[in-house]
Structure 1
Amino acid sequence: MVAARETTLQELLEGSKQYRVPLYQRTYSWTKTQLSRLWEDITQLAEDRIKHPDASHFIGSLVLAPSPSNGPTGVQEYLVVDGQQRLTTLTILLCAIRDHRVAQEGPEHRDRINQQYLINNWKPEQQRLKLVPTQADRPAYVACLDSTPQAGGSDPVGAAYRYFSAQLLTMDDADNLVDIDHIENAVISGLALVSVTAQQGDNAHRIFESLNNTGLQLTQADLLRNYLFMRLPTRGESVYNALWLPLQDQLNSKDLELLFWLDLVQRDSRIKQTDTYAGQQARLDRMCTEEEIEAEVARFSRLGVLLKSILDPTLEKVKEVRVRLRRLRDWGTSTVYPLLLHLLDRRDAGSATSEEITSAMLVVESFFVRRLLIGRATANLNRILLSVVTEMDQTLPVDKAVLGYLSTGRKYYASDDEIRKGLRAIPFYINGRPNQRSLVLQWLEESYASKEPVDLSSLTIEHVMPQTLTDEWRTALGDNLDPGESLEQVHEALVHTLGNLTLTGYNAKLSNSAFAVKRTQLATSGLLMNQEIARQPEWGRSEIYDRADSLAERVISVWPGPLPDAQREANPAWDLMNKVLAELPAGSWTTYGDLAAIIGSHPVAVGTRLATMPAPHAHRVLQVGGTVSPGFKWLDPTRTDDPHDLLRAEGVSFDDHGRASEAQRMDLEALAQLIGVSTDELPTATPVTDATQETLRDRFIEQLIALQGSEVAEATLLVLDAWTKVGGRNEYGTGQNETSCFLIAREKYEENGNIWPAAIYPSGKFEVVFQHLRIRTPFDNLDMREELRRRLNLAAGVTIAAAKIELRPGFPLTVLVAPDARDRVVDALQWFYAKARAGV
């Protein structure tokens, strides 16, 4: 027998209880994908509970088994047979809430949350923790529980703690109705779970298997179809032939499910795709006659035609509407679909014109582009887009209504002034998705309205001042430094800004060439923006700023801004800086310049801010050489401890001169990966024909030689040859800017799916893809990734920090030139291959 009942986290954790995750369970493995989904659910629930205090959200079940050691008194112990990932995540979130409230409100929250939900006070040490994770996760979990310097490390437990800490900082501001107390209340009392508890002597594992042995599931579209035709006992066949079959012919099962969800979202933006069937059924249950149900099927059929035009804009007859639909489809944000369906439906119903919906879509495109240009491409985007239809003013023409909604509140619809400032400072190249960055440059070139337009789709983004400075470029840039500036800081602040970027078909050929060489090539380009660059006699800070200013005015003329009364003064993104710092793992550090570059500010301004305003982990921000700033002071005047000692306790290494290890530095690229500012996809090995692979291989080698020289290219190819000899396969990518190479150890169709340890880029990086490996067997085990890191670090010139075990760190391809180092790398790859193939 089992007892199943609905419960809350508060009920589960209050009192003297302990939940033990058995040693045979897998280690904690939630990634940001699951964490962000849970966080969205919690913030939505917290908002709902402001008006509806009894609102709840079901998040799944726990299968528990009482411990054989339970007695009539003392701590009640349970084994967590299923649901340990969810329960562990929620207690980590409580640790983050506790520490945030202690820092922001007062120390009383520490004992309150600890004693109610996290520890069994006054109990023996072995019963102190209410949740006891697996042995492997325990040190990281206890570090978070006890708020030690090691809390928030680079392991999955630490990553979850850092993620929630960063989200709480972002959430906790005066403009937000949902404060941290609402969040805590939602977590403790609003999340509903089903607790399935076995009785003494029951086989908990058999229960678990029966709960999960559900077999092949019908899709939500299948369920809704069955429900609809169950409600049409006499008219079913004629409705099916006349209405449903044409709809089913137009849209596949996945798109049908999308249609039914889009229909619901236009009524309630909180509806999730997983609740589509339940939501539609509840709505349709209120209908009594077959005529009403038939009318709904007819409506679905009509909406299906409109959705087909959204998915395939070539079907739209009005050119201006077709262009806007295509551009929004190319942008790649599907959460705009509810609004697009609403706009087309309004036109279909005669309450909006083609001109009005075209104007509304331009506003949305402008909203996307302007957010990307100020470095806020993804901030709350999905919630904003899903709420447009339900929250915009329905009494206004649709274009005015969309503009009015997007202009109000904290939606990061950048004003003209923010665009002017942002284009000078924001690192455009690391923000958003690669295709979105390319689209902005393509659309800017199209705005020149050249009489001889060029096919822009095959062009790639070129850094005019290169990412890697040659001696020539260092001299040119160093001639105009201000007192106290370092060349590295100025380069980092400028290189990824829009003023330094363009499109070209000669990315590999131009490479790190001097500006005189690039200028000659750009002068022959068919792109007017390149011809403008070529008219400059030299290329440095002033030229990059001038071009940024010119492009800013073009952006302002092409993409309309928010309503004038909604514009505000552009300020540095201190909230984003705090989020970066909250996510910084123990055992790592960054610089004032790195922080300044990612938020579009200046190192001096960042230093001033950290010296005067509270910020998480401010002691982890060092000078560019890895030294603690001579002027560093704790904001708390009672603190006298040396920041060096705290950094060492967290795992940072210092040399005899007090310089932190460069390998442990989180530079601009690492910070972007860490907080998701850059949404670059992980390397994706997409199968293509052998002939295409041969072409890509040739392109890879051509780029490798052009960018790295023959010696480095030869050493790299020796590593690739060694990989194929051991049984691996080299897969060449189809990226726009360069052709990468993935070292494939296991194919997609094989057991446990595809896996590769590294990607090699002709621009000079051997990238170790820990971010990819953490969800691939057997390297989802942290110890396995650590062993790979250790083996690679045996090669001279390779120093991958433990703090980067969740990211995509790497080392320069020049390391491979030395035979001993190359052999060490090959040994590590051979070990990886054997482990990845074990049991296949």
Structure 2
Amino acid sequence: MRPDKRGVLELFERPQRYVIPLYQRRYVWTEEKQWEPLWGDIRHRAEAELERRGRVKPHFLGAVVLAGVRTFGRELQAFDVIDGQQRLTTFQLFLAAFRDVAKELGIHALERELERVTVNDGSLSHDLERYKVWPTRFDQPGFRRVLDHASEEAIEQEVRAAQQDFRFVPNTLAAYTYFLGELRTWLEEDPAQRGEALFTALRRYLQVVTIELEDDDDPQVIFETLNARGEPLQPADLVRNHIFSDASRRGENVHTLFEHYWAPFDEDGSLWRTDESRGRITRPQLAWFLTAFLTVKLEEDITDAVIFDAFKRWWGSLGTDTSAEAGLKELLRYARAYQRLLQSSPDTRLGVLYRRLKVMDISTLTPLLLYLLTDAGLNEAGLNTVLNDLESYVVRRFALGLGSKNYNLLFVRLLRELRRLPEETDLRTFVLAFLSRGEGDSVRWPTDQEWRSALLTLPIYKKVRPRGVAMLLEAIDLHLTTGKQEKLLIAEPLSVEHVLPQKWSLWPAPTAPEGILDTAAWRNTLLHTLGNLTLTTQKLNTALSNGPYANKRAELAKQSRLRLNTVFQTQEHWDEAVIQKRSQALAEDLLHIWHGPVGQPEEVTVAPTFELTSDAFTTIQNLRKDLDRNSIPSFWVGTSTAGEDLILYSYDWGSRSVRYHAEVVEDEAGVELLKLSLRDTFAEYAAQKPFVRVALAQLALPVQQTFGSARTQVTPTELSVWLPDGTDVATLRRALERLVSLTLPLMERAAAQTRTRSEAGAVLDAMVDALHPDLPDGFYFMAADIGAEKKWRRLANAAWPNQLHYELGMAGDKVVLHLHDELKMGSGEKSQLASIWKPLIHATREAFPALLVTGGERASGTRWINVPLDDVRDKQTLCERIQAFIHLTQPTIDAAFESRGNSAAPSLGPES
């Protein structure tokens, strides 16, 4: 093996090809797991280059294993990719997006450089040599489109349309679209300077180890070794080994140093070995501490991927005259401060801040807090004042949804400046001024006017999630407590209660000010504002439910000890006017709790404006009404025992134990979502259970691929898709129809396998069983026909209304193949087929000249085409004839349906 270290751009600068063998898996990287973290790593290095803070350290992006391929004549040098095909494919998709954004923004010199690393030019022996990476067969169409397209906008529109219609999107196109969006957002602030910084980062600071196999290396053995199941060393393990290896070289007592300084870090069950999740990443607490510690010491944003490299730099900066023990003492001093932060009492200023940062999922303040706790020289009162300023800044931004994406750079910059302050400078004054001068949504501190206006009008429950609302209300309750009341520490999470419930059908009708036309939407917006929300225990919340206000008021006044709920002792009624008045009172409390920036502009009175929001429960009810007017063929709508869920039952399956659901659910954070699911509720002993279980298992991957941009969940008895609660009825219906059409063929097949067969239909049923494995994708024989004494078996296409279908029938002892249009007169689909039916009959006669093909339209509106199969003697011929008839007629019918309103987006690739 010949290992080498190369920058990302260096991989592609030479005219050569990386060919991914056919046996390698397809491109499967996704936004959440790979694209977003990769973009974060790339962006961090580019931002470090922009700030030019010393020498930017390289970041390792993984390894690529290559085996040389024998080439002939003028063919370019080529390599088989043994390992790392996902990484190489992603790099090319990223560079293509970078190239296209550079072109958009007019950075033409950079565009030319990027063109050079995305395609091979010059004299090529064949067209495919222009691609520096050549993926597997499945990914080639999408990959070629990205590299060769005439307009990135066309790809983006297609991806968005497919995601909106819940159709399969190839990951190659989805990745390219993701990087386009991220690069535009990041580069547009200063295209030329940022573009150069990003290009430099890709050339110098983002590196890959390439391993070229030699003739006597076995590629399969190398691949298996690289992907072995052994547990990799964690950053903390590498840090420990480095410290004590260095101590041993210095001749220090390694055993004593370990016992006095490091042993607590290695104790099973200790704080340091406890896993903690931040965002989507879960790591031991020790790793989080090392990240924060090194950020303070090196004054740069340290990510988990570079902990060990960063630690070696800090350790080396101590110098040869500093003992390992001195370095360990410093590490332990910060560790104690970190432990103080994590274990601070909830009745202290530090404890309150830490608890609130956890709710907001903000960990980027931790390095700054470590500095304030160790080296800032603040007394307790001074520390508390600065903590209050920092909390005011992040809470105001959090409640307004301004985001924390740039906090890592902002707080590292503040940390760097604080460490260089002259001794006579007041630290608190400097922090206030630093945070107050921020401009733009990424860093600004909301003023009192903006803060008050938002608290009066924002549907805060939707904006900051239940945990965030609970944090705001707990702060108000603490603020309202005076010296005359007991100060209650809330020991366990409380539940957010809507006084006017989200399901308010039992309440008086809403009344809205003049000019509000949609009173239901007005109420649905107001009920999520601050004035309608309070805190209760989960048990009391459940008991209050959707009942009338009189019952709620009595229980809240009787059971709650919170100052926040004393309003219910005197407030005799509850409506929109009361909600708005209470929002004003609570907003004033929050203005006092979390102050604004220094030097605020003078306030101007502005009338509040409300942005009306949709309600998830109303969306479900509206979907029910929509399905009542325009049902999904072969299904009927039912209701759950609670009357809130929508259930879709099949007329064909012979059982209600397998059905589709639409309902409102809460995720782990208490956020309401709309959930669509296909459920198997058969008992374990039911005859249908084995067949349905197999069908669900086979459907798991197609469902996850098709709904890739939405959250999916797969269990042995349920396939689910989760959509945001703001999803409109049309989108929800499209998602439901997509789930039905995707799963219908296999579910029909499962239902058919358990039907009792009749002697009269035995010949047709035998044909159906024989033909099933060779049906085109999306086609199925309707389960309701199996075992019946009918003279036909309907063959449906899941993408069409099932009143339009093929049929396999018997005329005496002869087999006849039909295409029937039994659609309702006046329907859109019916009219779309009117102009194509006669040409279809003509085309069928031309395709089968030896057969007596008939067709036409009856007065009832039913249309038909009959193809007698007198010459069919075996299954293979029958299958070929059916497939030929479908291939002849299906494209024309699909095109007719797609032309209706021109609403269907072009296909992006195969639907797995």
Q: Same fold (TM over 0.5)?
A: yes
Residue 98 of structure 1 aligns with an amino acid whose one-letter code is R
How far apart in 2 are the matches of 1:829 and 1:522? Answer: 54
| Identical counterparts, % of pairs | 23
Of residues 419, 426, 450, the one that matches 1:418 is 450
Structure 1 position 12 matched with structure 2 position 35:
no
**Structure 1 alignment gaps of length 5 or more:** 572-592, 599-624, 627-654, 662-703, 724-731, 744-755, 761-776, 793-797, 832-840
Residue 556 of structure 1 aligns with an amino acid whose one-letter code is L
Partner of 2:137: 135
Partner of 1:551: 586
Partner of 2:307: 276
Residues 510-659 of structure 1 correspond to what in structure 2 (within 5 A)?
510-513=544-547, 518=552, 522=556, 524=558, 525-532=560-567, 535=571, 537-540=573-576, 543-564=578-599
In structure 2, do the counterparts of structure 1 residues 193 and 826 end up closer, same or farther at CA, with 3 Å as the change threshold?
Answer: closer
Q: 1:282-308 CA deviation, whole Å, 9 max, x = no partner?
A: 333355668632222222233332222
Q: 1:173-221 CA deviation, whole Å, 9 max, x = no partner?
A: 5489963443344335542222222346753333333445594444234
Residues 249-648 of structure 1 correspond to what in structure 2 (within 5 A)?
252-253=272-273, 254-268=284-298, 269-287=300-318, 292-314=323-345, 319-328=348-357, 332-346=361-375, 351-392=377-418, 394-395=421-422, 396-409=425-438, 410-432=442-464, 434-449=466-481, 451=485, 456=490, 457-468=492-503, 470=505, 475-477=509-511, 479-480=512-513, 482=515, 485-487=517-519, 490=522, 493-505=525-537, 506-513=540-547, 518=552, 522=556, 524=558, 525-532=560-567, 535=571, 537-540=573-576, 543-564=578-599
Q: CA deviation at 1:32?
A: 2.3
Q: CA deviation at 1:362?
A: 1.9
Q: CA deviation at 1:448?
A: 1.5
Secondary structure at the aligned position of 2:297 is classed as coil
Structure 1 position 206 matched with structure 2 position 221:
yes
In structure 2, do the counterparts of structure 1 residues 296 and 364 end up closer, same or farther at CA, with 3 Å as the change threshold?
Answer: same
Q: Say which structure, 1 or 2, has more relative contact order (CA 8 Å, 6+ apart).
A: 1
Residue 96 of structure 2 aligns with an amino acid whose one-letter code is C
Residue 252 of structure 1 aligns with an amino acid whose one-letter code is W
Secondary structure at the aligned position of 1:267 is classed as helix
Structure 1 position 58 matched with structure 2 position 85:
no
Structure 1 position 74 matched with structure 2 position 104:
no
Q: CA deviation at 1:240?
A: 3.8
Q: CA deviation at 1:142?
A: 3.9
How far apart in 2 are the matches of 1:502 and 1:828? Answer: 48
Secondary structure at the aligned position of 1:564 is classed as coil
In structure 2, do the counterparts of structure 1 residues 803 and 242 end up closer, same or farther at CA, with 3 Å as the change threshold?
Answer: closer
In structure 2, do the counterparts of structure 1 residues 735 and 187 end up closer, same or farther at CA, with 3 Å as the change threshold?
Answer: closer
Q: 1:17-43 CA deviation, whole Å, 9 max, x = no partner?
A: 333333333332233243232222222
Are the equivalent residues in 1 in contact too, given 2:465–2:671 (CA < 8 A)? no
Are the equivalent residues in 2 in contact too, given 1:467–1:495 (CA < 8 A)? yes
Secondary structure at the aligned position of 2:137 is classed as coil
Q: 1:602-640 CA deviation, whole Å, 9 max, x = no partner?
A: xxxxxxxxxxxxxxxxxxxxxxx99xxxxxxxxxxxxxx
Q: CA deviation at 1:557?
A: 0.5
Residues 793-812 of structure 1 correspond to what in structure 2 (within 5 A)?
none
Q: 1:105-141 CA deviation, whole Å, 9 max, x = no partner?
A: 3899877744541465886443443333333334444
How far apart in 2 are the matches of 1:190 and 1:468? Answer: 55
Residue 563 of structure 1 aligns with an amino acid whose one-letter code is V
How far apart in 1 are the matches of 2:336 and 2:174? Answer: 44
Residue 63 of structure 2 aligns with an amino acid whose one-letter code is S
In structure 2, do the counterparts of structure 1 residues 106 and 247 end up closer, same or farther at CA, with 3 Å as the change threshold?
Answer: closer
Of residues 174, 179, 183, the one that matches 2:194 is 179
How far apart in 2 are the matches of 1:543 and 1:64? Answer: 70
For the pair shown, the structure with the greater C-alpha radius of gyration is 2
Kindly report the root-mean-square deviation, in angstroms, between the aligned alpha carbons of the 2 structures: 5.5
How far apart in 1 are the matches of 2:464 and 2:100? Answer: 31
Are the equivalent residues in 2 in contact too, given 1:64–1:196 (CA < 8 A)? yes
Comparing 81-90 and 507-516, the one that deviates more: 507-516
Number of residue pairs aligned between Structure 1 and Structure 2: 648
Q: CA deviation at 1:374?
A: 0.8
Structure 1 position 93 matched with structure 2 position 60:
no
Q: 1:696-716 CA deviation, whole Å, 9 max, x = no partner?
A: xxxxxxxx966749x98999x
How far apart in 2 are the matches of 1:183 and 1:174? Answer: 13
Partner of 1:34: 34
Are the equivalent residues in 1 in contact too, given 2:5–2:209 (CA < 8 A)? yes
Residues 690-839 of structure 1 correspond to what in structure 2 (within 5 A)?
708=644, 781=701, 785-786=705-706
How far apart in 2 are the matches of 1:109 and 1:481? Answer: 56
Q: CA deviation at 1:468?
A: 5.0
Secondary structure at the aligned position of 1:285 is classed as helix
Residues 147-166 of structure 1 correspond to what in structure 2 (within 5 A)?
147=152, 148-149=154-155, 150-151=158-159, 154=163, 155=169, 156-166=171-181
How far apart in 2 are the matches of 1:547 and 1:19? Answer: 65
How far apart in 1 are the matches of 2:674 and 2:291? Answer: 39
Residue 535 of structure 1 aligns with an amino acid whose one-letter code is Q
Partner of 1:167: 182
Secondary structure at the aligned position of 2:60 is classed as strand
State the TM-score, normalized to the length of structure 1: 0.63
Partner of 1:640: none
Q: CA deviation at 1:104?
A: 3.7
How far apart in 1 are the matches of 2:386 and 2:679? Answer: 44
Are the equivalent residues in 2 in contact too, given 1:408–1:566 (CA < 8 A)? no
Partner of 2:247: 229
Partner of 2:693: none
How far apart in 2 are the matches of 1:222 and 1:7? Answer: 28
Secondary structure at the aligned position of 2:62 is classed as strand
State the TM-score, normalized to the length of structure 2: 0.59
In structure 2, do the counterparts of structure 1 residues 802 and 740 end up closer, same or farther at CA, with 3 Å as the change threshold?
Answer: closer
Are the equivalent residues in 2 in contact too, given 1:17–1:120 (CA < 8 A)? no
**Structure 2 alignment gaps of length 5 or more:** 164-168, 274-283, 615-621, 633-639, 659-664, 682-696, 713-717, 752-912
Q: 1:790-819 CA deviation, whole Å, 9 max, x = no partner?
A: 9x9xxxxx9999999xx9999999x99xxx
Residue 462 of structure 1 aligns with an amino acid whose one-letter code is E
Q: CA deviation at 1:266?
A: 0.5
Residues 235-254 of structure 1 correspond to what in structure 2 (within 5 A)?
235-245=253-263, 252-253=272-273, 254=284
Are the equivalent residues in 1 in contact too, given 2:700–2:719 (CA < 8 A)? no
